[in-house]
Chain A
Amino acid sequence: MPDDLTFLMGKFPAVLPGGLRYARNHMWARPEDGKLRFGFTSYAVRLMQDVYFLDWQVNAGDRVEMLQQVGHIETSKAVSDLFAPCAGAIVAFNQALLDDPSGVNVDGYGSGWLFDMDSPGDGLLSAQEYHQFLDENWEKTQRMIKGKINTED
């Protein structure tokens, strides 16, 4: 199994387990009983900080397209719509998070998983590739978050 990688967000080390695959929308994926289990990477959690509210707007069993909106999250520092990391069917949501979404903060790579998908996982990255993706976009991300640029792309 490949080694874990660490991406430095300023001083904060975001750990990227080597055995996982990654989506560009900052979710990790792990094969689980023939399905793909998804959750937020520590990079995403660091940007959001404490999760207050998590809401899904598709039902378990629904087919989704890549980057179709599936939910919404509110945290102590951020709000965001949430999108499908790849095409497939979302077969189950983590019920425990619906009662207490702070599980995302407690154990983001484990019990704080988000949903299981029936999907080939097309387009997912390795830890190495995700690290490189973060590295290439870190400057732009910081600028975007700081609101310095509004009309890029």
Chain B
Amino acid sequence: MSRQRLTVVLSQGQGKDPRKRSLEESIAAALLMEPGLDVSIVPYLYDLDADHTGRLFLESVPGDMLVLGWMYPRAAFWLLDRCDIKGHYGENLITPKAEVDDDDEEQEEPAPPKGVGAVNVPDRWIYCLDLRDHADYTVYVQEVRRVAAECVERRETQLKSWIQGNPTMVQLGRYMREEEPVVATPQFTSEQLMQAPQRRWYPVIDYSRCTNCMECLDFCLFGVYGVDKTDRILVEDQDNCKKGCPACSRVCPEQAIIFPDYKTPAIAGAPVGNIGALKIDLTKLFGGGDAMTMAARERDRELVADGREAVGLTVGIPKRQVDKHQEPKDDLDKLMDALDDLDI
């Protein structure tokens, strides 16, 4: 393992779905032949606890990293961040961007998120690819090659600018060495890496979107959330989280709380502004009520299951109007107009 090489980590899917295994194996087999890559396989990322060898391995990776997994890239990236495996977010070219209809050329880029951001981000990049995007392994192999080339180019550009700027010997040494000695990088056997973990369930915070508003802290009555020394929100006690309950994610005004295993894309970390941007959300019509009502209902179910009193909408409900989502209006209008044209 080296700072100069791209570490590719394949995070397996849960269960034994043969289609998933087959895609994973095809990708791994193809990448093992590629020069300049270190390829490793670990179990499902979300399930790795702090002591799991797979997690220790991930923590030991010093340079650029690419993670292939069965979840949205945003979910995987912030999951790593939560494990203190940090870097700059590398965009990939596989994940579909917001769908643009042919008759809708003026679609705007979603506004950049205004979150508090990650802290202590080292100078390396982390790319996450979603294995659910394609069934064809060659798509992933191509993208890994592209990312590897991008990382090399970035390092070379950096190196050139340093050389022109009269670098210190230490900097030069770091970049000129063929292979860095593997300092304090533990070697793990694949058996150790692949120990089957327990299934887990907990929220992951996307700090590029989180504004530290603390609404999740107020809403969750199970003690999952807390704050660090700098009063920054964090998932403090993830094992207090109630399996299957996504209520805090619904309450978050910035869509910053991700449950990677939840079925609803917006909660599972789908690109914000993508899913549903051009589709009508019929959830309310089909019995969902607004997000706050649903969240309170889900929380009540867990409270009662714990032998506590249901609190409905009386505790930890923000006073703000649930009216943040005005942007898609025009899209919805266009969509309904299209429906109208169909004689609805």
| Number of residue pairs A-B, CB distance < 8 angstroms | 97
**When the two chains form the complex, which single residue of A12, A78, A85, A153 contacts B280, counting CB atoms closer than 8 Å?**
A78
What size tier do the contact residues of chain B reach?
A: 35 or more
Closest chain A residue to B322, Cβ basis? A151
* Chain B residues positioned under 8 Å from A46 (CB to CB): 344
Number of A residues contacting the other chain (C-beta, 8 Å)? 39
Is the CB of B339 closer than 8 A to any CB of chain A? yes
**When the two chains form the complex, which single residue of A9, A67, A147, A151 contacts B287, counting CB atoms closer than 8 Å?**
A67
Query: Which of B88-96, B106-114, B325-333 makes up part of the contact surface?
Result: B325-333
Tell me if B279 and A78 are in contact (CB < 8 A).
yes
Is the CB of B281 closer than 8 A to any CB of chain A? yes
Tell me if A80 and B288 are in contact (CB < 8 A).
yes
A75 to B294, CA, bound (A): 22
Is the CB of B276 closer than 8 A to any CB of chain A? yes
> Which residues of B, 161-215, contact A by the 8 Å Cβ criterion?
none
**When the two chains form the complex, which single residue of B262, B275, B297, B332 contacts A67, counting CB atoms closer than 8 Å?**
B297
Tell me if A71 and B281 are in contact (CB < 8 A).
no
A128 to B290, CA, bound (A): 28
A91 to B14, CA, bound (A): 25
* Chain B residues positioned under 8 Å from A65 (CB to CB): 301
What is the CB-to-nearest-CB distance from B317 to chain A, in angstroms, rounded to a whole number?
15
* Chain A residues positioned under 8 Å from B339 (CB to CB): 77
Closest chain B residue to A12, Cβ basis? B344
> Which residues of A, 39-96, contact B by the 8 Å Cβ criterion?
44, 46-48, 55, 57, 65, 67-69, 71-72, 74-75, 77-83, 85
Tell me if B288 and A77 are in contact (CB < 8 A).
no
Among all A-B residue pairs, the 10 with the closest Cβ atoms = A25-B287, A83-B287, A80-B282, A147-B332, A11-B343, A147-B329, A78-B280, A57-B263, A81-B283, A80-B283
Interface residues of B (CB under 8 A from A): 244, 262-265, 275-276, 279-290, 294, 297-298, 301, 321-323, 325-326, 328-329, 332-333, 335-336, 339-340, 343-344
A selection of 8 A-B contacts at a CB cut-off of 8 Å is: A26-B285, A44-B286, A48-B282, A77-B279, A77-B280, A80-B281, A83-B286, A144-B284
